[in-house]
Structure 1
Amino acid sequence: MKLNSIRTIGRSDFVNMGPIRLRQPIPTRTIDNVDPFILLHHYGPYEISEHNNPFDLGPHPHRGFEPITFLVQGEQLHRDSLGNESVVGAGDVQWTTAGRGIIHAEAPTKTFVQKGGVLEGIQLWLNLPADKKMIEANYQHVKNNDFRVVASDDGKVNIQIIAGVLDGVYGRIKTQTAVNAYMIDVEAGGSFDVAVPETHQSIIYLLKGDVTINGSEQLKLNENQLIQFNQDGEGFTIEGNAISKLLFLSGEPFNEPIQTYGPYVMNTQTEIMEAMRDYQMGKMGFLAP
């Protein structure tokens, strides 16, 4: 396998989103976006209790992209203007297609807040191409145990196929565009060759642990670092130096203009203004606080 070379090794500095302090590997000063991935937030781990609950996101709108949550630890309640109400547990994924518009709210469940615990997850914004930005909104929730897994022969690498395909194994999430999303768990001494389509932009983000990429001592990835690969190979190799967890993402770039404002991702400033107007006029639905 011809290995993809490394384009960028990115940092994941803390940013403040209102009362929430979280890591933001995309965008940064060096990585604006990795088309079609617009934003990547790593929130937590937070110690949640009745006296400390910063991650209570009330009703808010989205249009033009897909906000996705990979919940690593804890328990969240999702509600939206389509009428969905879902308890998302550790390892679950919720994949929202905002399309023409949706209003949703997320917060730790009341039960989780009362008993206390650790909340941690990844929030990803996946862009939609121009011809799909105004499609009907949709919501998918897949539980941790329902995902298919590709494992190494020695069982030291387990790759959960969330969306797309790897080695003929398909994810449970139905996608609007050509995209792969895997959650990868690696034990010390485990290794695996991960194939990447040549047409895809691809990244890996290390949530925890210590891994070596492409067998290079110079490519030891530390916690909360992100690697962006070049589109010049067939994949990459991963070796575990400790118990590690990584998120892998790849997708075909759209190469379209991007305009963002708050919760909207469109192609032109005019479309952003239209999104703001439509939300104010109630065209994205309603969700009670």
Structure 2
Amino acid sequence: MKTRSIQNKSKSNFVNMGPIRLRQPLPSFAINNVDPFILLHHYGPYEINAKSNPFDLGPHPHRGFEPITFLIQGEQLHRDSLGNESIVKSGDVQWTTAGNGIVHAEGPTKEFVKKGGLLEGIQLWLNLPASHKMMEPNYQHVKNEDFAAVTSQDLKTSLKIISGTYKGVKGKIETQTGVQTIWGNSLEGSEYFIEIPKKHDVLIYLIKGSVFVNEVEHLREEGDRMFTFKQDGEGINIKATADSEYLVLSGVPLKEKVVSHGPFVMNSQQEIQQAIQDYQKGKMGYLAE
């Protein structure tokens, strides 16, 4: 099968988000977005204990997109203005559809802070089309054990299907647009070809390990950690040179103007101003500290 050509490469450099230091491969100097994906943060691993809790995000609003968390290790509490409260654990995915507005908070649970441990995750922002930006908000939390996976014949590669359908396996997350999200693990020496829907733009992000993509380009922790691809092939070939973990994210491009400001992602500056006013007036709901 023909592999897709690599379009862009990105490192995963550290940035400061307020008091939090984390990796940001998207957007970067090289890549503004991979439509419909507009931001990817890789936070941690942070050492969490009673004296150190660097990732505790108090109540804050969102509108116009879907903030998504892939929790790699640790434990964190989600609360939102819809009344949802859930404990997200290692391997779980939480998928918030902000729609016309939601206020949420997240951080390590009190029990996790007390016992201590490492917290690490991926925060992904997925754009909503203009027709869905003012829809009613929604929250989905799927536990690690409830996801189905596609496994290679040699059992060395396992692809957990989060959303979309791959090899007949349907992800548990219901999406607003055509999006396929795969959370992959490959043992050293494994090789696997991941098929990508023809009309999707796609990226691969390396969480840990080392892999060759299409046999020639290297993703590794101390180098390029994210590749994007052209729409000129049927998929991407992954060969692991160490035990590796990665995300393969693809979706139908929206091809709409994006105007973002802080926690809001809309289609015009006027809509951003309206979002700010609506939040200040309490139209996105409330959440106690």
Tell me, yes or no, whether TM beats 0.5: yes
> 1:254 is paired with a residue of what secondary structure?
coil
Instruction: Please give the TM-score of this superposition, normalised by the length of structure 2.
Output: 0.98
Instruction: Please give the TM-score of this superposition, normalised by the length of structure 1.
Output: 0.98
Paired AA for residue 164 in structure 2: G
Distance in 1, matches of 2:134 and 2:37, equals: 18
Given candidates 216, 220, 223, the residue that maps to 1:222 is 220
Aligned residue for 2:49?
49
* Aligned 1:1-289 pairs, distance under 5 A: 1-216=1-216, 219-223=217-221, 225-289=225-289
Deviations 1:7-39 (A, max 9, x none): 011111000011110000000111011110010
Distance in 1, matches of 2:28 and 2:263, equals: 18
> 2:197 is paired with a residue of what secondary structure?
coil
Structure 1 alignment gaps of length 5 or more: none
Q: CA RMSD in A?
A: 0.6
Distance in 1, matches of 2:276 and 2:23, equals: 27
Paired AA for residue 256 in structure 1: E
Distance in 1, matches of 2:126 and 2:265, equals: 10
Alpha-carbon shift at residue 198 of structure 1 (Å): 1.3
Distance in 2, matches of 1:241 and 1:28, equals: 26
State the percentage of identical aligned residues.
61
Structure 2 alignment gaps of length 5 or more: none
Distance in 2, matches of 1:18 and 1:257, equals: 27
> 2:247 is paired with a residue of what secondary structure?
strand
Q: Which aligned runs of 4 or more in structure 1 are off by greater than 4 angstroms?
A: none
Alpha-carbon shift at residue 93 of structure 1 (Å): 0.2
Check the 8 A contact 2:46/2:119 in 1, yes or no. Answer: yes
Alpha-carbon shift at residue 187 of structure 1 (Å): 0.2
